[in-house]
Structure 1
Amino acid sequence: GNRYFVTVIIVACVHNSPNQVSRIFLYAFLSVGIVCTVVGNCLVVLSIAYFKQLQSPTNSFVMSLAVADCLVGLLVMPYSMIRTMEGCWYFGVLLCQLHSSLDVMLCTASIFHLSCIAFDRYYAVCNPLLYSLKITRGRVALLIVICWAVPTLISFGPIMLDLHIAGVDIPLPGDVCVFLVNRIYAVMASLVAFYLPMAIMLIAYWKIFKAAKRQAVQISAMESQMAAGVGKDSSKKQRHRNAMKRERKAAKTLGIIMGVFLIFWMPFFTVNIVDPFIEYTTEVVVWDTFLWLGYINSSLNPFLYGFFNRSFRRAFLMFMGCRVCLPGTSPGMELSHTRKEANEHSDQP
C-alpha cells in the first residue's frame, strides 16, 4: 500500500499532463474559479459594510463567512492549483505546512459560519419574539470568534507540530505536498470540521421547515380574513404576514446554500476519513477532484446570495457599476426595487 502511494505521487510529478491543450484549459478554468471566489466574496463584504440595510445579525455571520471564503481564494486556491496541475510542490516544506494549515482552518471556518447562520435563522423563524433578546451583538461577536478560534486550534497546532501524521510511515519526496493524516486526526478533525456542523444545520433546518409549514397555514388563514375585510387590524396583520414571508424566504435561501454545501463537501470528508483505513490508496485524481469541489463551495456562496436576495443583487450591481460613487447614493439608501418592498422594510423593527 505505501509503495503504491509513493509510486503514484512520483509518476504524477513526472507525467502530470500529457495534453498541453487540456492543461491550458484546466489552468484557465481554475483561474476563473479563483477570481470568482475572490471578487464574489469581496462584493459581499463591501455590500454589508457599506449599506446599512444589509447590516443585521445574520449578515454579520455572512460577512465573516465571506472573509473566510475570500481568503480561501487568495491564500489557498492559487497554490493548490499549481500543485494540482504540476503534480509537484515548488515552495518548500514550511510553506507546505502553512498551506495545509490555512486550507484546513479557512475551509473549517467557512463551514462553522454556515452552521451559525442556520442557528441564527432557527431563532428568527422558530422563536421570533425571543430573537432580539437572544441574538445580541455580543453573542454574535462571540460566535464569530469561536468560528475562527476552533478551526485555528484544530489546524495550525497539529499540522505545524506534525501531530496529524504521527505513526504514518510513508516517505515522501521533498517536492511533494500531500496532506496525509493518521486515523485519529482524520476522524476527530472531520467530526469537528464537518459532521458536527452538518448535524447542527440539519436539525436547525428541519425545525425551520416545520415552523415554515405552520406559518404557511397562518398566512393562508390571514389572507382569508383580509379578503373578507376584517377592519382596523388588517394593516397590522398585513405587516405580520409580510414579516413571516420574508423570514420563510430567508430560511429557504439558506436551506439551499446548505444543500449546496453538503453536495460539495460530503465527498471530500468521506474520503478523508476512509483513506487512512485503506492504507492511503485513494487515487490522487480523486483527492484533487473532491478537494476542488469543496473549494467551489466558497465561490458559490456569493452567487447564491445574489440570486436569491434582491437587496444583495442590487448592492452587487451598484458596486460593479461603480454607482456607489455617484451623487444620490448613500449607505442608508433603500435597496429594494419597488415602493411596496420599501414600505415592507420600513415596517421592520
Structure 2
Amino acid sequence: MNESIPENDLVCIGHEVFSSLIWIKVFIACFLFGLVTLAVCGNILVILTLIRIKNFTRKINVFFTSMAVADLLIAVFVMVPSILRQLSHAWFLHDRVTTRIILLVDIMCSTSSILHFTCMTTDRFIAISKPFKYFRIMTRKVVGFLILLLWTLPFIEGYILSTFNPNDSLCLPGADFIPALVGSIVSFYIPLAFNIVLNIKIYLIVRRRRFHDLGDAQLKNMKTEFRVARTISILFGCFCASWTPFFVANIYSAIRKEDLTHLTWYIVTWIGYFNSTINPFLFYFLHKRKILRKRNTTIIHHISKEKEENIMYQSNSTISTFL
C-alpha cells in the first residue's frame, strides 16, 4: 500500500468476499470477467446494429440505443472495478474519490436503465392507445428532451448520494437510512409501480381492441406495436428480477438497522449487474427475425447493385469495342 496515502482516505479495504484460496479466487474472477466480456461485446453489437439499421424514425430504437450505452458503462466502469477491488489492495482502487466515482456511475446508469424502460413503456402506450396522434406527440424534440432527462436526473441523484454518503455507505449500501430509503424509492420503486400500471393498461387495451375493424396496413402496424410492447415487458421483467433482491436488501438493512454481510451485498449487487449482460442478448433473440430480414434485404440490395454495375460496365465495354 502506498505510504503517502492517509489511512482515512481509503475505504472498503479488508472487505474481501472472494475466498482466500487462490484457485477459488481465480475461478470467480474469471467467471465475472466472462460476464463483463459478454456485456461489453453484446451491448456494442446492439448499438452498432441499431446504428446500421438507421431506423430512428421509430423512436423506440433511440431509447434502446441509449439504454445499451448505459449497460456498456456499467460493464466498463462499475463491474470491472468491482472485480479489481477484490483482487488488489492498490490504493487507487480504494481511495474515497475512486469509490465515490464508481458509486456515482453505478447509481446513474442503474437509475437511467429503469427510466429508459419507463420512457419506452410510455412510448408503446401512446403508440397503442393513440396511434393516429403518436407522431404528433413523440416528436424529435420530445424524444431528445427525454433522452437528456434520462441522463441528467440519474446523474444528479448519483452525485448527491455518492457525495453526501458517509464512508460506511460506500461499502454497505444500506448502512445509512436516508440515502438508502430515498435512493431505493426514487431509483426503483416509483418507476417500478409506474411501469406495472402502464403495462396493465396496454394489456387491457389489447384485449378490448377490435382487430376485425382494422385494415390490413393498420392491422400489420398494430401487431408490430404489440410485438415491441411485449419485448419491452420481457426486458423490464428481467430487469426487475435482477435488481429486486438488491433494493429489497437495501430497504431491509436500512429499516432494521442490520448490516448484511459483505458477501450478501456482493451477490445481490452482481445479480443486478447481470442484467447489463443479458439485456443485449434478450434484445437480439426477441428481434432476431427482424434483424436477419433487414440484413438479408441489405445483402440483396448490394448484390442487385453490383449486378447493375456489371451490366453497365459490360454494355459500355461493348459500345467501346464497336466504336
TM-score exceeds 0.5: yes
- Residue in structure 1 matching 2:146, options 128, 143, 147: 143
Partner of 1:197: 191
**SS of 1:123's equivalent?**
helix
Scaled by the length of structure 1, the TM-score of the pair is 0.75
Rounded to whole Å, the distance in 1 between the matches of 2:72 and 2:240 is: 20
- Residue in structure 1 matching 2:46, options 36, 39, 44: 44
Partner of 1:247: 225
Partner of 1:83: 85
Rounded to whole Å, the distance in 1 between the matches of 2:80 and 2:271 is: 15
The answer to whether the Cα contact below 8 Å between 1:125 and 1:208 also exists between their aligned partners in 2 is: yes
The answer to whether the Cα contact below 8 Å between 1:47 and 1:312 also exists between their aligned partners in 2 is: no
The answer to whether the Cα contact below 8 Å between 1:122 and 1:204 also exists between their aligned partners in 2 is: yes
Identity of aligned residues (%): 28
**SS of 1:164's equivalent?**
coil
Rounded to whole Å, the distance in 1 between the matches of 2:280 and 2:85 is: 26
Scaled by the length of structure 2, the TM-score of the pair is 0.81
The answer to whether the Cα contact below 8 Å between 1:48 and 1:63 also exists between their aligned partners in 2 is: yes
- Residue in structure 2 matching 1:301, options 279, 284, 288: 279
**SS of 2:230's equivalent?**
helix
Q: What displacement does 1:21 show?
A: 2.8
Rounded to whole Å, the distance in 1 between the matches of 2:216 and 2:76 is: 46
5+ long unaligned stretches in structure 2? 1-11, 305-323
The answer to whether the Cα contact below 8 Å between 1:264 and 1:293 also exists between their aligned partners in 2 is: yes
User: 1:200-255 deviations in whole A, cap 9, x for unaligned?
Assistant: 2111111111112223xx33x46xxxxxxxxxxxxx82222211211111111111
Amino acid at match of 1:36: L
Distance 1:27 1:94, change over 3 A: same
User: 1:62-100 deviations in whole A, cap 9, x for unaligned?
Assistant: 111111111111111100122345699752221111111
Distance 1:54 1:149, change over 3 A: closer
Rounded to whole Å, the distance in 2 between the matches of 1:20 and 1:254 is: 41
Rounded to whole Å, the distance in 2 between the matches of 1:315 and 1:54 is: 17
Greater RCO, CA 8 A, separation 6+: 1
Rounded to whole Å, the distance in 2 between the matches of 1:306 and 1:316 is: 13
Rounded to whole Å, the distance in 1 between the matches of 2:174 and 2:226 is: 42
The answer to whether the Cα contact below 8 Å between 1:123 and 1:131 also exists between their aligned partners in 2 is: yes
Distance 1:286 1:86, change over 3 A: farther
Give the number of aligned pairs: 292
Q: Is the aligned partner of 1:110 residue 2:113?
A: yes
Rounded to whole Å, the distance in 1 between the matches of 2:101 and 2:218 is: 51
Rounded to whole Å, the distance in 1 between the matches of 2:251 and 2:227 is: 35
Rounded to whole Å, the distance in 1 between the matches of 2:175 and 2:149 is: 24
Partner of 1:71: 73
Distance 1:89 1:190, change over 3 A: farther
Structure with max Cα Rg: 2
Distance 1:329 1:305, change over 3 A: farther
Amino acid at match of 1:112: L
Rounded to whole Å, the distance in 2 between the matches of 1:156 and 1:325 is: 47
Q: CA RMSD in A?
A: 3.0
